[in-house]
Each structure stands twice: as structure tokens, then as C-alpha cells.
A and B are shown apart, each in its own frame.
Chain A
Amino acid sequence: MKEYFLIIIGVVFVNNIVLTKILGLCPFMGVSKKLDTSLSMSAATAFVLTIGSITSWLVNYYLLIPFNIEYLRTIAFIVIIAAVVQFTEMVMEKNYPYLYRVLGIFLPLITTNCAVLGIPLLNAQLSHNLLESAFFGLGGALGFSFVLILFASLREKFEGADVPESMKGTAIAMLTAGLMSLAFMGFIGLDRI
């Protein structure tokens, strides 16, 4: 029990996939302008990550390793993740057309999100078992959502701030992301627990 809790804390705070591992920056910068789009993006990514990492682990353990075709891992994982994203897109288009429209191109881009491919690959590399992989995926999703929502709230506040003309838009956002990353370095001490 303690290990699963530690995995989640590790992946959310200490080894945050966005701010410490610097994966998945594309939706982080692109979707975080408004709070409601980032909420829906984090929900979609969380869904894809959890389902994706569980299915990827199953395929890896039962199909790839027994038949000694680990070299096909990357391709297989990409195919699975693409399928899950496609499925999520269809569900979103039917049930939440407004959010589907606002997320626009970023929803299919979850397929190419390095975090969403990175976590299953890390699972395979670290030889987690099924439950550990599931928690790792869930933790990664939580960490991504946590940072995305924080960043979106900050960016909404910037709309009213007196930012110099040359820094408006992406420039100030990048600066803030860098500062947040620095702040998250403080969590490194947590792994002593």
C-alpha cells in the first residue's frame, strides 16, 4: 500500500511529468489560456493516460515479452494510444460539442503528447507490475492536471496585469512556466519520506 502511495506522490510532485521531466509541454502551453478548456483537457488526458498505460502494460506483458518482440514496443504503444484518443474524441464530440470545438486541434494532438507515450514506456522500462503501472499512469495524469490547472489560473490572472507589450502572450507564459518548474524543484526533498 505504501509503495502505491509513494508512486503517486513521486509522480505528482517530485517527478512531475510537465515541470520536472519536461514532457507534454504542447498542450500545457496551448490549452492553458482559459480554465474550463484546461479542465476538459486534463480530464481527456487523464482518461487516455490511465486506459493507455493499462492496455499498454497488458500488451507488453502478454504479447510482446512472451514472443520476444520487445523491439515493437514503441509502435504497438503508439497504435494503442492513437486508438484510445480516437475513441475519446468521438465521445467528446457527441457529449460535449462545445468543449470539442474549443479544444480544436489539441484533442487529436494528445496522440503525439510525449507524456502520454512516455509513461507507458517508463512503466515497461522500470518493470512495474500491473497495479504499479496503473497507479503510475493515474499519478502522471494527476500531476499533469494539477500543473495545467495551476498554470491556467495564473494565465487568466495575467489577462488583467500590466504586462509590457513585448512580453504579452506566450513570452510571459514561458517565463511563468520556468518559474513554476524552479518552484517544483523544492519538492525533491519529499523523496526522503
Chain B
Amino acid sequence: MQIKDEIYKFFGGIKPNGHKNISTLNPIKKISIPKKLIIPVRQHVGKMPNIIVSEGEYVLKGQLIAEPVTNVSAATHASSSGKVISIKKEDIPHPSGLPDMAVTIETDGKDKWIELEKFQTSKLSIETLLEKMRFSGIVGLGGATFPTHIKLNINKINTLIVNAAECEPFITCDDMAMQEKTDDFLLGIKEVMNLIKIPQAVIGIEENKPLAIEKLSKSIADDNSISLKVIPTVYPSGDEKRLIYLITGIKIAKEKRPAEYGIQVFNVATLISIARFFNHGEPVISRIVTVTGNVKKPNNYEALIGTPINELLRDAGGDTNKEIIMGGPMMGFKLPSTNIAVTKAMNCLLTITDEMENKPSYEMPCIRCTKCVDVCPAQLQPQELYWHAKSSQFEKLTNDYKLFDCIECGCCSYVCPSNIPLVQYYRYAKSEIREQKQSLDIADIARERNDFRLLRIDREKRERAERNAQRRSQVSEDDKKKLIDEKKAAIEAALNRTKEQNL
């Protein structure tokens, strides 16, 4: 498929102030090994992996502490060497504030690596490599955390699109990664292209990253299979389907995946971790986190997975008493407490600025101005979705108004003049609809089981009746008399025995 030079423009989108330059002044800073690492066992979408270490056990850096179960599951590794001091439910970064299983490691400071398995990617088959990747802990590090080995298990891909857009304001971790880890990044792209034989790759990068663009264009100047496409700074151009449209002009149908069109999209950090895994055998044990917002020294930090975020905030001069958002201002969520640790999904820690706090937060009635319709990148009707979600009328939302096409980007809430938190209503409606569907499925199974039980009881009754009828027809009149006499005699004998015993 030919990539044309033209850059397409998708419908909608907003252009908020990026606030990116405050966190790109200094290079990435490595946070020293913390005393305790609180590693949540599940940091991906899918099933909870099996914990294979126990309390009191000494683990090495990069050691597998939870192995994946069925296919949609990923592994978790120890980020540094030390002793496992507890395996129990801890606070995790989740919008609900509910705890989940986590392994706490008390580090010994030695940071000793486990013996890493180095392998030659060119000598092994795809199946072997994907099987090894299953234990590498590599998931989508852009925030979606979908296990990458499943995404790579598809052939017939003819274009690899690298998502270097980073469209959300305040976040700059991918930008700094591209500037400082350019070699690993390009190596990662080449590894993926060689693994499943993708002929060409396009890096989609927003124009607000001039340093990264310059460095990348120099590095790929000799390579014809990788090209760089600079796209305008519009939120949400980093969304998968919007990015594909921007670069190739292909509109992915609402129910289909990009893989069905021969396109696969990967994030910058994911590709860097793929390069480190294939060339050094290193699993995912650290990530780059942008700490920005209302902090004295906003910066990007390379932190081990499981580092308590208080350490990052302290180093950046932040106030742990203020509210902190994990993610960006558009799609992030408020952390329920600061008592949590860095996970694979944590790309940014945003302390609420005074500007955000002073915005009026009360919801006013919808005036049907349809500013939200003008900016929705999925071309939905947010005011209708809001109307039906608010009054909990869920039947129309799925089919007529296509609620599940909403990517929850937040453009509609951003422009609403009545300060209506539109995305919260859609999330509520989606949860309720999903739960209703689940209840229907459970009810169907219960109905089947009940029907089968009634059938079984019926069948047993019938069989018993048949057996009785057969038995009765076999026994003749004389035999019946004999049986009755025998039974009478037995009863008399028993009565006599008891009389003798009582005497």
C-alpha cells in the first residue's frame, strides 16, 4: 500500500495549550532505587497472572514473579533485587480506589540482574519468539497495556505505524525517549518489521517536537523502509484510528481492527522495550514518567516499576497534598491516594494547577449549542448521548447513537460552555450497559440449567415409573403372596427380638 505524502485532516478535534516545554528543559533523570518496590501483579488488560514467588523469597532484578495464564495475559517481573516481604492487596492506581494484589519487595541496593537469556532473533521462528515475548512483560506502554505478543501474532501486515504523536497536553515522555533513546527506538521498529515481515513503517509525529523530528530524520535518512510524517498538533491525533486516517487516509470501519486493513500501530515506549528484550533479553522493569503541572521542577523520570510515586513527586518539588492526575488532563483520572507506585500504564503524573482548580465545576443545563458535535473526532452526537445517559435510557444509546464508538477523548467536555462532565456520563452509561449484557448472559445460563434440571427430574421420574411397572408385571400373584408372608414373618421376628431384649 502506497503511503501518499498528503496529510489528511480528521473531523473535529481541539487545540488546547500543550504546556509541553516546561518538562522538556532537562534530560531524563534516573530515580535511585527506592527502599520498597510495590509491584501490582496485574498491570495489563486481561486475566490476573499467576504469582510464582512467595513471601520471604529472595528475587533478582528481572526475575519472573507472575507468569501469564491464558493468552490475554502478560508477565510481571521484579524491578530490582531484594526480598519479597509481602504479597497482599495494596492500593493501586485505579479510578475506583479499590485495592488489588501486589508484591512488595524490600530492595537490598545491589540491583543484581538475573541471568538474562540472549537469543538471536534471526535464528528462531516467529512462534518461538512470540512464546518468549509472552514472558517478557511487554504491553502497550502508551496507556492501553494490551499484551503486545498478541498484537504481533498477526501476519499480512503491510504497514507499521509508529504512534509518536503524544497529542495529550503536558505529557512529554515519548518525546524525551525519542531524543535520548533514538537507537533503541529505531532498532525496535526494525525488529518488529523483521519479525512479521512488514515492508514499510511510518513514524507519525506531531510538529511540536522539533528536536525529536530533527534527530529522527537524520537517523533514518539512509533507510528507505522507514519514513517520517509530521502531523499538525491537534488533540486527539494520537488515537489509533485518527492517526491511521491522518497518515494513510484509510477510515477504519467502526467494528473492525486496523490489523484487518493490514496496518498495525505501536507506541514509542513499547518499541523501545521490544528492542531491549530482543537484543539484551531485558523484561519490562522500568518506564519513563513525566511529572509536571503544579510542581517546582517538572521533569521526565526513568523510574523502576513499583517505585512509590512520593519519591518522584519529592524530587520534582511537588506537593503530595494536592490532587494528582495519572495520565493527561484529558483522559487521565484522579488518583485516590498518593500511596501508590509506578505501573506500566503510568505515563504522566499531573499535579492540578491553579488554573485547573479555579475552573467552575458545577454543571449547568445543556443549551443545545452543539459545540460538542463540532469537535467530536468520532463524529457522534454528544448532546444526544448526554440526554439519554443522564436519564438512564440505555436502549437507544448502543444502536441508534453508537455510544460504544466513543473513545472518551474528552474533547466534548473541554468545549462545553455549561461545564457538563460529558465523558463521565458516557462512562456511566457504558458500565451500565455492559453490566446489563452480562446479567442477560448469566440469566441465559441459569435458564438453561434450570430447564435441564426440570428435564432431568422428569426423566428420572419416568424411568423410575417404568422400572416399577416392569417389576410389578414380572412378579406373579403367588410370588407376591410369598413376599408379603416373608415380610410379615420378618416383622414378627424383629418384634419378638425386641420383646426378649426388654425382658
A161 to B391, CA, bound (A): 7
Q: Which 3 A-B pairs have the closest CB atoms?
A: A160-B391, A160-B387, A160-B388
Residues A135-193 near B (CB distance < 8 A): 157, 159-162
The smallest C-beta distance from A111 to any residue of chain B, in angstroms, reads: 33
Most buried by B among A159, A160, A161: A160
Q: Which residues of A contact B (CB under 8 A)?
A: 157, 159-162
Give 10 pairs: A residue, B residue, CB < 8 Å, sorted on A.
Answer: A157-B387, A159-B391, A159-B393, A160-B387, A160-B388, A160-B390, A160-B391, A160-B393, A161-B391, A162-B365
A103 to B388, CA, bound (A): 25
Chain A contacts of B388 at CB under 8 A?
160
One digit per residue, 1 when the CB lies within 8 angstroms of any chain A CB and 0 when it does not, for chain B 179-220 equals: 000000000000000000000000000000000000000000
A17 to B345, CA, bound (A): 64
A163 to B390, CA, bound (A): 13
The smallest C-beta distance from A14 to any residue of chain B, in angstroms, reads: 31
Chain B contacts of A159 at CB under 8 A?
391, 393
One digit per residue, 1 when the CB lies within 8 angstroms of any chain A CB and 0 when it does not, for chain B 385-402 equals: 001101101000000000
Chain A contacts of B390 at CB under 8 A?
160
The smallest C-beta distance from B412 to any residue of chain A, in angstroms, reads: 17
Chain B contacts of A160 at CB under 8 A?
387-388, 390-391, 393
Chain B contacts of A161 at CB under 8 A?
391
Known: A160-B391, A162-B365. 8 other contacts (CB 8 A): A157-B387, A159-B391, A159-B393, A160-B387, A160-B388, A160-B390, A160-B393, A161-B391
One digit per residue, 1 when the CB lies within 8 angstroms of any chain A CB and 0 when it does not, for chain B 365-403 equals: 100000000000000000000011011010000000000
A90 to B150, CA, bound (A): 58
The smallest C-beta distance from B394 to any residue of chain A, in angstroms, reads: 11
The smallest C-beta distance from B350 to any residue of chain A, in angstroms, reads: 34
The smallest C-beta distance from A169 to any residue of chain B, in angstroms, reads: 15
The smallest C-beta distance from B300 to any residue of chain A, in angstroms, reads: 45
A157 to B388, CA, bound (A): 9
Most buried by B among A157, A159, A161: A159
The smallest C-beta distance from A23 to any residue of chain B, in angstroms, reads: 32
Chain A contacts of B365 at CB under 8 A?
162
The smallest C-beta distance from A121 to any residue of chain B, in angstroms, reads: 41
A157 to B383, CA, bound (A): 13
The smallest C-beta distance from A33 to any residue of chain B, in angstroms, reads: 13
The smallest C-beta distance from A144 to any residue of chain B, in angstroms, reads: 26
Chain A contacts of B387 at CB under 8 A?
157, 160
Closest A residue, CB atoms, query B388: A160
The smallest C-beta distance from B166 to any residue of chain A, in angstroms, reads: 38
Chain A contacts of B393 at CB under 8 A?
159-160
The smallest C-beta distance from B205 to any residue of chain A, in angstroms, reads: 43
A161 to B387, CA, bound (A): 8
A137 to B82, CA, bound (A): 90
The smallest C-beta distance from A175 to any residue of chain B, in angstroms, reads: 19
A44 to B365, CA, bound (A): 40
A12 to B393, CA, bound (A): 33
Closest B residue, CB atoms, query A157: B387
A134 to B356, CA, bound (A): 67
Chain A contacts of B391 at CB under 8 A?
159-161
A162 to B390, CA, bound (A): 10
The smallest C-beta distance from B71 to any residue of chain A, in angstroms, reads: 41
Closest A residue, CB atoms, query B365: A162
The smallest C-beta distance from A36 to any residue of chain B, in angstroms, reads: 12
Closest B residue, CB atoms, query A161: B391
Chain B contacts of A157 at CB under 8 A?
387
A157 to B387, CA, bound (A): 9
Closest A residue, CB atoms, query B384: A160
A159 to B394, CA, bound (A): 12
The smallest C-beta distance from B363 to any residue of chain A, in angstroms, reads: 12
Closest B residue, CB atoms, query A162: B365
Closest A residue, CB atoms, query B392: A160
Closest A residue, CB atoms, query B391: A160
The smallest C-beta distance from B398 to any residue of chain A, in angstroms, reads: 16
Closest A residue, CB atoms, query B387: A160
Residues B320-370 near A (CB distance < 8 A): 365
The smallest C-beta distance from A131 to any residue of chain B, in angstroms, reads: 41
The smallest C-beta distance from B384 to any residue of chain A, in angstroms, reads: 9
A143 to B365, CA, bound (A): 35
The smallest C-beta distance from A29 to any residue of chain B, in angstroms, reads: 21
Residues B211-247 near A (CB distance < 8 A): none
Closest B residue, CB atoms, query A158: B391
The smallest C-beta distance from B42 to any residue of chain A, in angstroms, reads: 38
The smallest C-beta distance from A98 to any residue of chain B, in angstroms, reads: 16
Chain B contacts of A162 at CB under 8 A?
365
A161 to B365, CA, bound (A): 11
The smallest C-beta distance from A166 to any residue of chain B, in angstroms, reads: 18
A180 to B388, CA, bound (A): 24
A129 to B218, CA, bound (A): 89
One digit per residue, 1 when the CB lies within 8 angstroms of any chain A CB and 0 when it does not, for chain B 429-455 equals: 000000000000000000000000000
A160 to B391, CA, bound (A): 5
A161 to B366, CA, bound (A): 11
A98 to B493, CA, bound (A): 71
The smallest C-beta distance from B432 to any residue of chain A, in angstroms, reads: 15
A162 to B387, CA, bound (A): 10
A160 to B387, CA, bound (A): 6
A157 to B390, CA, bound (A): 12
Residues B276-301 near A (CB distance < 8 A): none
A160 to B392, CA, bound (A): 8
A140 to B419, CA, bound (A): 47
A160 to B365, CA, bound (A): 13
A36 to B387, CA, bound (A): 20
A43 to B365, CA, bound (A): 38
The smallest C-beta distance from A102 to any residue of chain B, in angstroms, reads: 15
A150 to B388, CA, bound (A): 19
The smallest C-beta distance from B397 to any residue of chain A, in angstroms, reads: 11
The smallest C-beta distance from A113 to any residue of chain B, in angstroms, reads: 30
The smallest C-beta distance from B10 to any residue of chain A, in angstroms, reads: 30
A100 to B393, CA, bound (A): 25
The smallest C-beta distance from B390 to any residue of chain A, in angstroms, reads: 7
The smallest C-beta distance from A165 to any residue of chain B, in angstroms, reads: 14
